[in-house]
Amino acid sequence: MKIVDGVPEGWKREKINEFVTFLGGYAFKSTSYQQEGKYGIVTIKNVQQGNFISKCTGYLDEAPDKMKKHCILNNGNILISLTGNVGRVCLVYGENYLLNQRVAKIEPKNNTPKSFIYWMFDNSIMQKRVENLSYGSAQQNLSPIKLGEQSIILPPHKLIESFDEFASLINIEIIHLLNQTQKLTQARDLLLPRLMSGEIEV
């Protein structure tokens, strides 16, 4: 393979903010949280490495009027933690979730496949770079602006598209299985107390 300017021929250096956008969450007031409600509030606790925790600690019946539309989360959205263990990424599954501050949604730009973006952030090399960018003594914080200014080496678009052909199917299957698991868990939590109380006969 021919090397041109320190990178493989056809590859290029680009800043992250040239092909992704980081969308911040809404500053919810925790005093307005409920134990149950229509919408679950997604915080950094919900964003574990490669694992979205669907159980939320706070809920609301209505979304705030001033909240931006991107804070409504859908299946397949990519999230990244900006506080604590920074740089953790996961795929959202399920419905009726709202994005809280200190968590960002990663949106592709310029037709960059979402699967490529997710697996780019979900690897040890990128994790280390993100950790090195974090700041704070008591609690680590990550600036989406500084992260966006980082340069990485991108393969040719055709190679990215070839990667997406199988990686996108993997992501779809992951989300499908997680949704199935969530439904089974909800069914278990509903039926088990009834079985134990004798409300349902076996």
Looking up residue 14, the CATH number of its domain turns out to be 3.90.220.20
Going through the chain in order, the beta strands assigned E by DSSP cover 3-4, 7-8, 12-15, 20-24, 39-42, 47-48, 51-52, 59-60, 72-73, 78-81, 89-91, 97-99, 103-108, 151-154
Tokens of residue 106, six digits:
């990663």
- Across 26-30, average pLDDT: 94
In a domain, 202, yes or no: no
In a domain, 177, yes or no: yes
> Residue 198 forms beta bridges with which residues?
none
The tokens 């960018």 sit on which residue? 133
- Across 101-109, average pLDDT: 97
Contact status, residue 99 vs residue 25, Cβ threshold 8 Å: yes
In a domain, 152, yes or no: yes
Of 143, 123, 122, 120, whose CA–CA distance to 132 is shortest?
A: 143
Q: Which tens digit of pLDDT belongs to each residue from 118-139?
A: 999 999 999 999 999 999 877 8
Q: Report the amino acid identity of residue 54.
A: S
In a domain, 172, yes or no: yes
What confidence category does residue 186 fall into, taking pLDDT thresholds of 50, 70 and 90?
Answer: confident
The tokens 């574990």 sit on which residue? 48
Indicate the SS3 state at residue 52: strand
Cα 185 from chain centroid (whole Å): 21
Q: Indicate the pTM of the whole model.
A: 0.89
What confidence category does residue 7 fall into, taking pLDDT thresholds of 50, 70 and 90?
Answer: confident
Residue 15 has what pLDDT?
A: 98
In a domain, 175, yes or no: yes
Distance, in Å, from the CA atom of 90 to the CA atom of 26, rounded to the nearest integer, reads 19
Residue 138 has what pLDDT?
A: 79
Q: Report the amino acid identity of residue 155.
A: P
Range of the domain at 173: 3-197
Q: How many CB atoms lie within 10 A of CB 2?
A: 6
In a domain, 168, yes or no: yes
Helix (H) / strand (E) element for 41: namely strand 39-42
The total number of structural domains in the chain stands at 1
Of the two residues 158 and 138, the one the predictor is more confident about is 158
Residue 5 has what pLDDT?
A: 81
In a domain, 27, yes or no: yes
